[in-house]
Each structure stands twice: as structure tokens, then as C-alpha cells.
Structure 1
Amino acid sequence: MRTKHVNVLIALAAFVLFSFSCFCISRMTQTSNQLINCRNHILEFKEKILRLKNKTERNRQELINALSKMKYEMTQRENTSTDLVEKKMNTLGKDETVSNNTFEVLKFFFPHLRKVGRIYPDVIIGKEKIGVSFALGISTVSRGNQSYVKQTLNSVVSRMTLSEEKDSVVIVSVADRNEDYLKSVVDMITKRFKRQLKSGSLEVISIPAFFYPNMLHVKQSTEDSGKLESWRIKQVLDFCFLMLYAQPKAMYYLQLEDDIIAKKMYFTKITDFVHNITSNNWFYIEFSILGFIGKLFKSEDLTDFVRFFLMFYKDKPIDLLLGDIFQVKMCNPGETPEKCAERNKQIRIRYKPSLFQHVGIQSSFPGREQYSKTI
């Protein structure tokens, strides 16, 4: 009996051990399958990460190539815009309008221009910058073997701060039909003032030959008086064209010439002086007392000045016409000269000391020398 109980216990223990072994084997098999599945998931995830990494690397390389291409194209455009002398077409299509063209005022005074569709400079280098506070105009013509324009331009642009340069535009107007002189000015500026050209703070324009009336083309006087008269007439017209071009660009316009030196901090002194004037009722400001140099105008008044100059361009040099327009516009009929002179001091403001030094000896009039230095 006892032996029978022992056998039953042994059988039960064997069954329990067998069941436990089966359970363990089942769990191990299940765990193994889970591990295999997990490993497969890990391998699949790793493969996806690798594909994503490869795709990301391709995208990065494509982006680098695209950026390099864009940078190259931008560099090419900048170089092209700096080096290229673009010839502007002076005619409009049938459907185009010139009602907003600032040069339209010229057609009232010169009948030969009424046949021209659009009046605009022949050559423009620069960004055609607008919306700045100051436009500085420099008109230049050939002086034979002597040239001061590089020295003038260097002093004008180098004595501005970067913020002042950003808020201004210097316009060099080549008023000479000599193609060699035009090319020499363009070459000099594109080589020495490349940064200013790229930023838009410096421009070069050329006045079209058709702008001038026939009297300047056909007058062949051999007398010095006749040549001097033609030179003076052309100079007035050169300044008028430049003033009209500059008028829509800035709030103020400063007239300079191509044979002066700007003094240190000249631009800072001009801006401070203008901003500190309490009254806006000024006619113009003189930052030089010599000729037409250093005269500052409000751009909104330039068209009126140009109209007056064109009415009498055959009669007097432009600096004398500037005095005449004051008499016409500002002196009341019957007013005493003393009272008018007193108003003159209030609205024709003179800054002291002068901010520009005249350096040119060889005049733009052939064969003539001038020695006026202190201004």
C-alpha cells in the first residue's frame, strides 16, 4: 500500500515536472519568437533610418548645389550690372505713356524734342536708386589732357559714413559727345568705385546728343566770344538735365562740379545743418559761395528752377540766373531793395565755412584757365 502511494507521488511529480518543462519550453519558444520579431523590427527600422539618412544626404547635396548655383548666378548678375554699359532706348511703344516722365517739361521749351517719344539718358550704370534723402549731382565734360573727376568723386564718396551712403545717391552725368571720354569715365568708376555701384549709391548717366537744340550743333563761330557763349549755354542745359534726372530720387538735391574737393565730414555737417533749420521756408542753401557749386535745393522745387533756367538759358550763366529767380519770385513789386535784401538773408541761407574746395585750373572751356581756389 505504501509502495503504491509512493508510485503515485512519483508519477504526479513526473507529470508536474513534465508540465513545467513543456510550459518553460513554450515560453522560451514564444520569447524566442518575440526576440526574432523584435530583431526583425530593429533591422527594418535600421534600414529605414539608413534610407532616410541617404535621402537626407542627397537632399543636402542638392541644396548645396542649388545654393552654389544661385550664388554663382547672383555674382554673375552683379558683375554684369557693374561692368555693363546699358544703352537705353529713347522711344516708347504705341501703348506706352510718358505722362509721368520728369523730362516732359523739356518739350515745352524745345520744339525739336516733341518728336521724341521718351527722353532719357543714353547710358546708365547703377541701380537707379530712389527714396533717399540726398541726391548729389556732378556734371563732367572733357578738359583735354587734364581731369579732376576721379579726385572729386573720391573725396565725395569716401567722406560719407556707411549710413550716409545708404541714404544718398551720387550721380555723375557725362555731358560730352566724345565717346573716348565717356568710356574713360565709365572705366574709371567701374574699377575704383565698384562697391558704391553695387550698393546703388553711385550712378553714371550720359546726356543724349539729340537733347541739345540745333544752335549748339551748327554754331561754328571762330571767335572766342561765340565759343564762350555756346559753352555757357550748354552748361546751363547740362545742369538742367541732371537736375531733372535727380528730382524724383531724393528729398534734397546738392549741385557739385567735377573739379572740387569735399572737406572732411562735409556730408554730416550738411545733414545736421538741414535737419536743424527750424523753418522750411528757405529758397536754397549755399555750402559754397563760388558759382553753382554746393547749392542745396529741395527736390520738390527743382522743376520750377529748371523752368526758369530754360526760359533764359541763352542769356546768362546759371549762377547768375539763380540770383535772378530770387528777384522774380521773392521780391514784391514796389518793395525797397533793402527790404528784399533782408528777406534774401532769411531764405537764401549761407553756411560758413564753405565745405567744398575748388581745385581745377584747366577750365571745361577749352584753352581757359581759372585759379579760384578758396570757396
Structure 2
Amino acid sequence: MRAKLVNWLTSLLVVMLFSFFCFCISRMTQTRNQLINCRNHILEFKESFLRLKNKTERNSQELTEVLSKLNYDIRRRKHVSINLVGKNVNTLDKNEIVSNTFEDLKFFFPHLRKVGRIYPDVIIGKEKADVSFALGISTVKRQTHSYLKQTLTSLITRMTPSEEKDSVVIVSIADSNEDYLKSVVDMITQKFKKQVKSGSLEVISIPAFFYPDMLRANQSTEDSQKLERWQTKQILDFCFLMLYAQPKAMYYLQLEDDIIAKKMYFTKITDFVRSITSNNWFYVEFSVLGFIGKLFKSEDLTEFIRFFLMFYKDKPIDLLLLDLLQVKMCHTGETPDKCAERNKQIRIRYKPSLFQHVGTQSSYLGTERYLKDIYY
């Protein structure tokens, strides 16, 4: 009996120990699973935290960019507002300056004194100004052929986008022929849409009443008088164009409607002008031919224009330019060699030439010119 009791107690103890052992294993397994789940939750939390941190950083960066852009827009609008206010305040002054510039014509041409406002007809233009360079081209109808499209293509396609942005090309139609005016405008609006849209290409027309009666009348049949009248009108064409271009740019480059430009001509001009250490130069020659490729400081143009208008009946414009140098720089009693040496410092010549004359049919009716720049 006692032995049975011991066996029963032993069996009970074994069962209890086994049950406890199973319970412990179950709890350990459960705990392990909980630990694994906890670890997974921690990892998920860590990943979520990292994602949130990255998103916060991106949002912070985007917010910073938005705030910066907002501040920039506020400053820009404030600046524009100030400029608009200044423009409104100074509109009268600006108009008066432009008007007064052309009012000088009345001193030289009495027939204009009864005219009100004197200003060329702006056919295509967006009032582009505050640029470094204005390129002026005066054009008239030739007998059978026009070189203007070739000239503009050469000039514009050989500019970089930044150079185009910092310049304005001005075509001045100095011809009363309405068909020619229309043909030029149609060609430019079709071929150079981008430049017209940006304001980098302008077209103006010189009204016939600008010219003295002697140039508007064609009663003379003598060739010498016709040539003289053609040369005289050409000088005035250049003067009117200079007056229009002067307030637009720091420098003015005189060209003609039958030339081509070298590759990178604009870059070479810019680099060369910046390399000139003295500001006392009078003009720079980028071509040795006539009045082609002559670069002036716009602030000096008034002096040139007035001199040309004083003597426009006497000589071609390239010879008047030399006469002005003589008057300005050669002292009384000075030897020609000494004067010529001084002129080299203010009349700067760039080599090789950047522009070549390609027209053979002259704008002077019925003549041909095979003129080439040997330094091109």
C-alpha cells in the first residue's frame, strides 16, 4: 500500500514537472515570439522614423526654396515697382531727351523748324535699351538685287545667345519706296522671328520730310550732281540712324547692308574693347573700308553727328571722319607725322578686319563696285 502511494506521488510529481516544463517551454516560445515581434516593431518604427526624418528634411528644403523664391519675387516686384514708378516719373524727361536729340536737326535744317516732334517711324521694335552694343545698318533699294538678308544672317547667326541678348541690331530703311519697305519688313518678320520677338532686331523708316528739298527733288540729270546728292543723303542716313541708336547702348557699331561678318566677330569685338586700357580712344576700326565696321562710344556720337551735319554737303562721311580727327587732335604748327602718331592712339585699328564688303551692285543707281577689304 505504501509502495503504491509512493509510486502515485512520484508519477504525479513527474506529471507536474513535465507540465511545468511544457509550460515553461510554451512561455519561452511565446516570449521569444513576442521579442521577435517587438524587434520587428522596433525596426518598423526605426524605418518609419527615418522616412519621416527624410520627408521632414525634404519638406524643410522645399519650404526653404519656396521662402527663398517668395523673397526673391517680393524683392523683384519691389524692384520692378520702383522702376515703374521711376519710369513714370522720368517718362517726360526721357521723351524730352529723345526729342531734344532729334531737335538738333532743326538747327541744321530750317525746313524742320515748323515740324512738331521729329522721330523716325518705328516699324518693328520693342524699345530694347541698356545693352552694350547697337549695330546700325542703313539700307536703300538697289536696282535689281538686295544683300540685306545675307548681311543680317551673317551678323545674327554668328552671335551667341548671350551676345544677342546684350545687343540690338537696327535696320534703318532710308528709302521712300513703299514696296521696298514692305519687302524688307516681310523678309525680316519671316526670317528672323526670334530676334523680332525678343526685341534684338528693330526696323525703322526715315520719313522723307527729314531731308532738305535739294535731296527730295530729282530735277538734275548731271551725273556729278546725282553722285553728290547720293553722297549727301548717305551722310544724313547715317546721322539719323545714329541719333536713334545713341540712347540704346554703350557702344555703336556702324555697318552697311552689303557686308558679311567673320565667325565669332562679336566675341572678338567685345574682348578687344575690354582689353583697351585707356578710355581716350575716339573710335575703333574693325574694317578699313569707308564707314564700315567703325565702333564709337555712344556718349561721343553727338559730337560726331553735329560735325557731320555741319559739313554733310562737302565730303563723303569717311573723309569727314578723318577731318574731325584732324580738327580735334592736330595742334596748330604741329608736324603731320607727330599728329599722325597721336591719332594712332585714339583711332585704333583692329587686324584682321572682321567685316567684308560683298555687294557689287552699288546703291548709287547704275553703278557697280568691286570693293574688298584686303585685311579680311
Please classify the TM superposition score into its range, dividing by the shorter chain length: 0.7 to 0.9
For 1:97 and 1:204, how far apart are their aligned partners in 2? 20
**Structure 2 CA distance for partners of 1:166 and 1:228, relative to 1, 3 Å:** same
Structure showing the higher helix proportion among its residues:
2
Residue aligning to 2:302: 303
- Letter of the aligned partner of 2:330 in structure 1? C
Residue aligning to 1:249: 248
User: Residue 236 in 1 paired to residue 235 in 2?
Assistant: yes
For 1:217 and 1:350, how far apart are their aligned partners in 2? 37
Residue aligning to 1:78: none
Q: Could you say what the CA RMSD is over the residues aligned between the two structures, in angstroms? A: 1.2
For 2:279 and 2:178, how far apart are their aligned partners in 1? 43
Residue aligning to 1:168: 167
Residue aligning to 1:177: 176
1:135-150 paired onto structure 2 within 5 Å? 135-150=134-149
Residue aligning to 1:291: 290
For 2:142 and 2:148, how far apart are their aligned partners in 1? 10
CA contact (8 A) 2:158 2:264 kept: yes
1:5-44 paired onto structure 2 within 5 Å? none
Q: Secondary structure at the match of 1:142?
A: coil
For 1:320 and 1:248, how far apart are their aligned partners in 2? 26
Residue aligning to 1:327: 326
**What whole-Å deviation, never above 9, does each CA across 1:21-67 have from its counterpart, x for those lacking one?**
xxxxxxxxxxxxxxxxxxxxxxxxxxxxxxxxxxxxxxxxxxxxxxx
**What whole-Å deviation, never above 9, does each CA across 1:234-260 have from its counterpart, x for those lacking one?**
000000000000000000000000000
Residue aligning to 2:11: none
> What's the offset of the Cα at 1:335?
1.3
> What's the offset of the Cα at 1:98?
4.2
CA contact (8 A) 1:98 1:118 kept: no
CA contact (8 A) 2:140 2:174 kept: yes
For 2:169 and 2:371, how far apart are their aligned partners in 1? 24
For 2:113 and 2:338, how far apart are their aligned partners in 1? 43
For 1:373 and 1:218, how far apart are their aligned partners in 2? 33
CA contact (8 A) 1:98 1:104 kept: no
Contiguous gaps of at least 5 residues in structure 2: 1-93
- Letter of the aligned partner of 1:301 in structure 2? D
- Letter of the aligned partner of 1:354 in structure 2? S
Residue aligning to 1:199: 198
> What's the offset of the Cα at 1:223?
1.1
For 2:331 and 2:213, how far apart are their aligned partners in 1? 37
For 1:265 and 1:111, how far apart are their aligned partners in 2? 45
Q: Secondary structure at the match of 2:253?
A: strand
1:1-375 paired onto structure 2 within 5 Å? 98=96, 100-101=98-99, 102-375=101-374
For this pair of structures, how many residues does the alignment match? 280
Q: Which runs of 4+ in 1 moved over 2 A?
A: 96-100
For 2:373 and 2:331, how far apart are their aligned partners in 1? 34
**What whole-Å deviation, never above 9, does each CA across 1:119-152 have from its counterpart, x for those lacking one?**
1112320212110000000000001211100000
Task: Decide which moves more: 218-227 or 156-165.
Answer: 218-227
- Letter of the aligned partner of 1:173 in structure 2? S
**What whole-Å deviation, never above 9, does each CA across 1:57-91 have from its counterpart, x for those lacking one?**
xxxxxxxxxxxxxxxxxxxxxxxxxxxxxxxxxxx
Q: Secondary structure at the match of 1:137?
A: strand
Q: Secondary structure at the match of 1:247?
A: helix
For 1:310 and 1:257, how far apart are their aligned partners in 2? 20
> What's the offset of the Cα at 1:183?
0.4
Alignment TM-score, normalising by the size of structure 2: 0.73
Q: Secondary structure at the match of 1:204?
A: strand
**Structure 2 CA distance for partners of 1:213 and 1:207, relative to 1, 3 Å:** same
- Letter of the aligned partner of 1:250 in structure 2? A
- Letter of the aligned partner of 2:279 in structure 1? N
> What's the offset of the Cα at 1:99?
5.4
Identity %: 81
For 1:267 and 1:350, how far apart are their aligned partners in 2? 16
